[in-house]
Structure 1
Amino acid sequence: MLLADQGQSWKEKVVTMETWMKGSLKASCLYEQLPKFQDGDLTLYQSNAILQHLAGVGLVVNNGVEDLRCKYALLIYTNYEAGKEEYVKALPGYLKPFETLLSQNEGGQAFIIDNQISFADYNLLDLLLIHQVLAPSCLDSFPLLSAYVARLSARLKLKAFQESPKHVNRSINGNGKQ
């Protein structure tokens, strides 16, 4: 999302589950996971490392985003059937801090931290979009977060990226749980 929205050119290679399960690509990746990012001789793994490299700065708010992503991953990969209802019930408590942060920055009309978009915004947007698949009404009681998702998703380059054939109906999690 960051590269698309900032008008950067890059080559994306989407890896199918079938290709991943063959094992040779997985074995070649540090931590045996994707995404993998190459910039000249530099190769990075893990979304946050990539975003921090591209953004040039790390931000504390992103740690909160990652805390929620860890809770989500724990649900999706270890306790989906038994834990989904409880997770969705607890979700408002997890989302409230982000609504509060938005309210403290130009009444929710700016970005999560400042008046300029940062890598934390792309990471939070991604996570909120994923949660809207898990629980479509999860943002209904958070008007600033709901408007934030709509505002960021409407950015021309970001919208084009999200609506591109490579990304429409793409599986969110490798295990098929959503």
Structure 2
Amino acid sequence: MCKPPSHVLDLGPWLLWRRKLRPGKGEGFVQGGPQRSGSGCPFPSVPAVLGVLSSSCRAELLCPPALPSGRCQATRMLLADQGQTWKEDVVTLDTWMKGDLKATCLYGQLPKFTDGAFTLYQSNAILRYLGRKHGLYGKDDQERALLDMANDGVEDLRNKYLVLIYQNYDEGKDKYVKDLPAQLKPFETLLKQNQGGKAFIVGDQISFVDYNLLDLLLIHQTLAPGCLDTFPLLSAYVARLSSRPNLKAFLASPQHTGLPINGNGKQ
């Protein structure tokens, strides 16, 4: 049975996700495109369609085509894998450039997340909030500290990737790919230190960092196919996480496969 939506998020520069639940009826709405059911949960994509998934869960999806997935994917992966549904409102670039919406955002940027009356900005703050809410933030203070450290490492590499994509792609790609093994090695080391790489990045339960790292590794496999060939633990990690039923369904859905990774078409 599809669970009622528990979240609405603003993910990526032109996406707003909001929570909307009809009290007492268990009906939630997801905007984003044709629904795809994985374990009974809809994945928004393109273009507009209304579908009834079950007697207790209706998904309404509306989304212009060709929006970049950007910072959306790690949070989408988390929600999908945890069996959540969400409402995703799309903000077009034209609307955003008018400035009215931007003026209402705390830092003048998206993502924006709403859970009932609670509003949150910043993609990693959103991931951490969802991690705490769904028990995806380690079992003790030491695990949580290691998760924070690992997530900082993910963000360091993601920022280097974004500089390449948006500022130096044509001239810098070869060097970036050449240097990539040194950037990936710490994650291989973390996996090795945790049950010989047979579990997650930290501990024996999936965490918000695993979704963030998986997204980062997948986009690097697009940038540099074979980049994980010399990292057997990372390769097995990507395969293991990608085979989780809800996550596998999401990764095969248009919400993952039908969106460009970056806003400038480079990947």
TM-score normalised to structure 2 length:
0.62
- For 2:220 and 2:90, locate their aligned partners in 1 and report how far apart those are by CA, in whole Å: 22
Alignment-derived partner of residue 176 in structure 1: 265
Query: Tell me, what secondary structure is at the counterpart of 1:166?
Result: helix
Q: 1:154 to 1:14 in 2, by over 3 A?
A: farther
User: Which of these residues, 73, 76, 83, is aligned with residue 7 of structure 1?
Assistant: 83
Deviation sequence 1:132-152 (CA, Å, 0-9, x none): 111111111111101101110
User: Which of these residues, 11, 17, 31, is aligned with residue 107 of structure 2?
Assistant: 31
* 1:50 equivalenced with 2:139 (yes/no): no
Query: Tell me, what secondary structure is at the counterpart of 1:173?
Result: coil
Pair member with larger Rg: 2
Deviation sequence 1:145-167 (CA, Å, 0-9, x none): 01101110111001111222222
- For 2:262 and 2:97, locate their aligned partners in 1 and report how far apart those are by CA, in whole Å: 14
- For 1:165 and 1:54, locate their aligned partners in 2 and report how far apart those are by CA, in whole Å: 23
Q: Counting strand residues as a fraction of each chain, which structure ranks higher?
A: 2
Question: Structure 1 stretches of 5 or more lacking a match?
Answer: none
Count of aligned pairs:
178
User: Which of these residues, 119, 136, 159, is aligned with residue 70 of structure 1?
Assistant: 159
* 1:107 equivalenced with 2:196 (yes/no): yes
Q: 1:13 to 1:147 in 2, by over 3 A?
A: farther
Deviation sequence 1:5-40 (CA, Å, 0-9, x none): 111222233555565556554454343433321111
TM-score normalised to structure 1 length:
0.91
User: Which of these residues, 216, 227, 244, is aligned with residue 155 of structure 1?
Assistant: 244
Q: Residue 50 of structure 1: CA displacement?
A: 0.5
Deviation sequence 1:23-63 (CA, Å, 0-9, x none): 55445434343332111122222221100011124622111
CA contact (8 A) 1:17 1:174 kept: no
CA contact (8 A) 1:5 1:157 kept: yes
Q: Counting helix residues as a fraction of each chain, which structure ranks higher?
A: 1
Amino acid at match of 1:73: L
- For 1:18 and 1:171, locate their aligned partners in 2 and report how far apart those are by CA, in whole Å: 19
Q: 1:111 to 1:21 in 2, by over 3 A?
A: same
Query: Tell me, what secondary structure is at the counterpart of 1:167?
Result: helix
